[in-house]
Chains A and B, each alone.
Chain A
Amino acid sequence: MEPSTEYVAFEEKVKKTIYIDNLSPQVTKAVLEYAINQFGNVKDVRFVPTYSASCGVCAALVEMESAKQAEEIICDMGDSPLMISGMPRPVRARKARVEMFEDRPKKYPRTIVCRWMDRSHQNFELAKKIKDLTKKHGAEAQYLMELQVEEEEKLHKQQSETLKTNYKKYELIDDADGNVKRLKAEYGMTLNDHY
């Protein structure tokens, strides 16, 4: 069976698209477009909607002019960290995949057949097990996501502490500079200005 032409065109588009996540929620379409335009021609930017509260990251699908551009950008972003609208958390890029798009066309024309399973059927219990497993998986994934957000929060706090102390250090140094100058004036000394 040949995939439909619509699907083939869609696949082409997917090849040219980069999936970027770890974006700040404040990043707008314009910002992202501008950022990626430095590396290539951006054709389209679409945000991947996030509905759940627990999900920590925002992501977007950026369509480039060619698949090669997309690949190059992904490699570059893998080598050195790119920051958009804030630092130091870098964004992450990877190749887009078909399932990432919301509105994808059908690959093959096909019909779906479903049925309700007979309760007395021997496989009913098994099917129920699969259902329960699916639900369990969902809960697990949710939990994992929460753990991840916790880790991120920890890192963030730790880094902001580091930054604060660094900043204080710089402030101290700056202040010292001012003090030295005052003292110099007071005592009427000359100083060799190394700085």
Chain B
Amino acid sequence: MEKVNEDVKLDFKWLKQRGVGGKNKMTRFYESFEYDGVEYMQYDCVYMYKDDSHEPNIGKLTKIWEHPDKSKKVKIHWFFRPEEISHWLRETKTLENEVFLASGEGRGLANINPLEAIAGRCNVVCISKDVRNPQPSDEELKAADFVFNRTFDVQSCTVLDKMDDKVGGLEIEYIFNRKKGDTKEEIPNTIISTEAQITKTVDPQDSDVSSSLKRNAESDKSHDRPLKRIKSNDKCVESAVALGPEKMTELPSIKSKVDKDKMQVSIVPAEKIENKERIKTPTGSDKLHDQPSKRMKSAGKKPLEEKSVQLKVIQPAADSKSKQEDKVPADVNNLKTTAENQKNGSFKVPDNKKPWTYMNEKDSVANSASPKGKSKSGSLDSPGDNNNSMAVKEEQSGELKRKLSVDRPLKASALSTDKDKYKPFVVTPRPNVEKSTWFRQAPWEERLKEAYDKGTAILLHNLKPDYTSEDVQNLIWHAFKEIDCSVKILPRTAISSPHYDQALVLLKTKEAAQRILTELDEGCLMLSDERPLVGTPCPQISTKKYLTFFGHLAVDKARFQNQREDEAVSTSHFSQPNTIEYDMAMEWCLQQLKSKKWWAKFHKQQGFELKKLEKELKQKRT
């Protein structure tokens, strides 16, 4: 520890001592201390640094002491983030900043760490409705970094609501919010970045995390979970969390320190040294919002080559030790950074894809028009539902607002014919289109292909999610006086935007299509909730067979390019572990998870941008 203090000159001061204990009564227990200018008290919540991860862990300081050799230790009772226990949460809804207190006994409940591993104070407010818990005020809730009201039992791996008198050995009064008068003023969190430390973090659900994260273990290692854990045990001892190359020299000394501690500390039986994997993409979301807009301006840079540096402070871990570690954490980090890069890259649409000049040739336009949302919308169920119910409410309130403002356009100008155009109109069912029987004959796909070739197909965006195809048809009739049109709302897929829907419209003539596009572009057709309808030419259509699909391999060299149509029996099976196939499947699962995450983040970002503008619009209306 002496070496550590030499390099890192962070101020430290013991404040209030609690007592003595341990061997020879030489170990001192403390109630509070000051570290790097921040005062910490027993039972405060802190951020604990974790090596080369972007998110620090959150824990509660339950014990603080100093050994006779001057090494300082803290016992941390952990909080779990929803992502860490997503496998057992399944469909349980969690708040955005909700965490779960560890309960029960065993691995994952608490750990002893060196005091220097503390990265900062954390404001965790207990929102349990238990009568023993002082309820937080609204300001406290807003100021809180995290909230919790449930626990996660590390033995049974279940989420519990009720809290007994003791949670994981911790008295309940130290879990609930402190009674007013006990707490001192809140010190804003400081995340300290320039420290060298070992964090003995715990991976309580190592075995299950691996399945939920679909770890990609090296192919020659067995897939036995205990084996993996032991291996990572070894590696973690070697891998000190050095945040700068100059800290590498401390490795041997710290390692020996660790051993010594093991002998000395007899309080906590279980000391697991493992890397906790996280697959979560970083939540530096504020910064993420700013970055892409800046990047949009700088064109022409290759997105994947950029290293994302917007996370809170943590520098990348030194390379030499990462080779020693499990391949997994490195992979996870790579995937995080590439996921980030993907996200960042995605906001930089290359220059040749300018979407809003539809006067040019079809090809460039076709390239840039929006994709067919084929996959599902964002991964969480709740935001989608919220959107829907919100959308309905907005529609209703939008209608009310419009009734009030209907007078405005009329009053503004004296001209009659033009102004009629700006009156709101109700979309009623259009007159019957019995006569065009030819419409009904060909199946939709063929008609679509035909229409695309002839240039009579357009794609509408920004439709409200609960519009049906007939609604859109009626709308087109009212707005553009086109009767002969056929509409299909595109179903949402895993990758389509959850904020609005799209629809394909097939018109009879090319001129009609052009006219509609022009009108939509030059004017603003506002839908029920102040959304302007957007129209773009239909993007390129392709039939199913020619879609390129990656991921299916054939062992037979002769047919390497996934031609399996001539197989008599269709095969479907669960892949078994301990096979090459399983390893590869894991790689794909990783890829899929990556893609899921980045789409979710992408849509979130887009939603944010949209809402900002829409809010502005609504405000200006009133």
Q: Which residues of B contact A40 (CB under 8 A)?
A: none
Mark each residue of chain A from 124 to 139: 1 if its CB lies under 8 Å from any CB of chain B, else 0: 1011111111111111
Partner of B573, one of A79, A83, A107, A131: A83
Q: Which residues of B contact A55 (CB under 8 A)?
A: 371-372, 374-375, 493, 495, 547
Report A184 CB to chain B, min CB distance, Å. Answer: 29
Number of interface residues of A (CB under 8 A): 104
With an 8 A cutoff between CB atoms, is B426 at the interface? yes
Report A122 CB to chain B, min CB distance, Å. Answer: 6
B396: nearest chain-A partner, CB-CB: A110
- Residue from B395, B479, B532, B540 having most chain A Cβ neighbours under 10 A: B532
B355 near A135 with CB under 8 A, answer yes
Q: Which residues of A contact B560 (CB under 8 A)?
A: 160
Q: Which residues of B contact A84 (CB under 8 A)?
A: 570-572
Q: What CA separation (Å) do A165 and B471 show in the bound complex?
A: 57
A107: nearest chain-B partner, CB-CB: B466
With an 8 A cutoff between CB atoms, is B438 at the interface? no
A137 near B550 with CB under 8 A, answer no
Mark each residue of chain B from 483 to 526: 1 if its CB lies under 8 Å from any CB of chain A, else 0: 00000111111111100110010000000000000000101111
A160: nearest chain-B partner, CB-CB: B553
Q: What CA separation (Å) do A145 and B427 show in the bound complex?
A: 35
B613 near A115 with CB under 8 A, answer no
B445 near A134 with CB under 8 A, answer no
Q: Which A residues from 170 to 195 make CB contacts under 8 A with B?
A: none
A108: nearest chain-B partner, CB-CB: B392
B588: nearest chain-A partner, CB-CB: A89
B372 near A131 with CB under 8 A, answer no
Q: Which residues of B contact A134 (CB under 8 A)?
A: 461-462, 500, 532, 534, 610
Partner of B493, one of A48, A107, A111, A124: A48
Q: What CA separation (Å) do A110 and B427 show in the bound complex?
A: 10
A116 near B581 with CB under 8 A, answer no
A100 near B613 with CB under 8 A, answer no
Q: What CA separation (Å) do A94 and B90 show in the bound complex?
A: 11
Q: Which residues of A contact B620 (CB under 8 A)?
A: 122-123, 126
A156 near B551 with CB under 8 A, answer yes
Q: What CA separation (Å) do A35 and B572 show in the bound complex?
A: 6
Partner of B541, one of A53, A83, A104, A117: A53
With an 8 A cutoff between CB atoms, is B135 at the interface? no
With an 8 A cutoff between CB atoms, is B152 at the interface? no
- Residue from A107, A138, A144 having most chain B Cβ neighbours under 10 A: A138
Partner of B585, one of A83, A110, A123: A83
With an 8 A cutoff between CB atoms, is A59 at the interface? yes
A56 near B356 with CB under 8 A, answer no
With an 8 A cutoff between CB atoms, is B345 at the interface? yes
With an 8 A cutoff between CB atoms, is A31 at the interface? yes
With an 8 A cutoff between CB atoms, is B575 at the interface? yes
Report A162 CB to chain B, min CB distance, Å. Answer: 8
Report B86 CB to chain A, min CB distance, Å. Answer: 10
Q: What CA separation (Å) do A75 and B208 show in the bound complex?
A: 13
Q: What CA separation (Å) do A144 and B356 show in the bound complex?
A: 18
A142 near B491 with CB under 8 A, answer no
With an 8 A cutoff between CB atoms, is A163 at the interface? yes
Q: Which residues of B contact A90 (CB under 8 A)?
A: 575, 585, 588-589, 592
With an 8 A cutoff between CB atoms, is B106 at the interface? no
Mark each residue of chain A from 44 to 57: 1 if its CB lies under 8 Å from any CB of chain B, else 0: 00001111111111
Q: What CA separation (Å) do A159 and B585 show in the bound complex?
A: 10
Mark each residue of chain A from 26 to 63: 1 if its CB lies under 8 Å from any CB of chain B, else 0: 11101100110010000000001111111111110000
Report A29 CB to chain B, min CB distance, Å. Answer: 11
With an 8 A cutoff between CB atoms, is B384 at the interface? yes
Q: Which residues of B contact A145 (CB under 8 A)?
A: 371, 495
Q: Which A residues from 138 to 170 make CB contacts under 8 A with B?
A: 138-145, 147-149, 151-153, 155-156, 159-160, 162-164, 166-167
B372 near A51 with CB under 8 A, answer yes
A132 near B356 with CB under 8 A, answer yes
Partner of B540, one of A53, A104, A123, A143: A53
B551 near A155 with CB under 8 A, answer yes
A54 near B371 with CB under 8 A, answer yes
Report B331 CB to chain A, min CB distance, Å. Answer: 12
- Given the known interface contacts A75-B90, A138-B461, the answer about A113 and B425 at a Cβ–Cβ threshold of 8 Å is yes
B491 near A116 with CB under 8 A, answer no
Q: What CA separation (Å) do A105 and B470 show in the bound complex?
A: 10
Q: What CA separation (Å) do A54 and B392 show in the bound complex?
A: 32
A114: nearest chain-B partner, CB-CB: B527
With an 8 A cutoff between CB atoms, is B430 at the interface? no
With an 8 A cutoff between CB atoms, is A103 at the interface? yes
Partner of B384, one of A97, A117, A137, A152: A97
Q: Which residues of B contact A98 (CB under 8 A)?
A: 388
B376 near A100 with CB under 8 A, answer yes
A152 near B591 with CB under 8 A, answer yes
Report the stretch among B34-42, B309-317, B320-328, B416-424 that lies at the interface.
Answer: B416-424
A137: nearest chain-B partner, CB-CB: B606
A58 near B349 with CB under 8 A, answer no
Q: Which residues of B contact A121 (CB under 8 A)?
A: 408-409
A123 near B548 with CB under 8 A, answer no
Nearest 10 CB-CB pairs, A to B? Answer: A138-B370, A89-B551, A86-B552, A35-B572, A52-B372, A115-B424, A88-B584, A156-B550, A99-B492, A53-B542
Interface, chain A (partner B; CB < 8 A)? 19, 21-22, 24-28, 30-31, 34-35, 38, 48-59, 75, 78-90, 92, 94-95, 97-108, 110-124, 126-145, 147-149, 151-153, 155-156, 159-160, 162-164, 166-167
User: Can you list 16 pairs linking A and B with CB atoms under 8 Å apart?
Assistant: A21-B375, A26-B562, A48-B374, A53-B547, A55-B547, A57-B549, A81-B588, A86-B571, A92-B592, A97-B384, A112-B527, A126-B613, A138-B461, A141-B495, A144-B346, A144-B598
Additional A-B contacts beyond A82-B574, A115-B423 (8; CB < 8 A): A30-B570, A52-B372, A55-B375, A86-B564, A99-B384, A115-B525, A138-B355, A143-B345
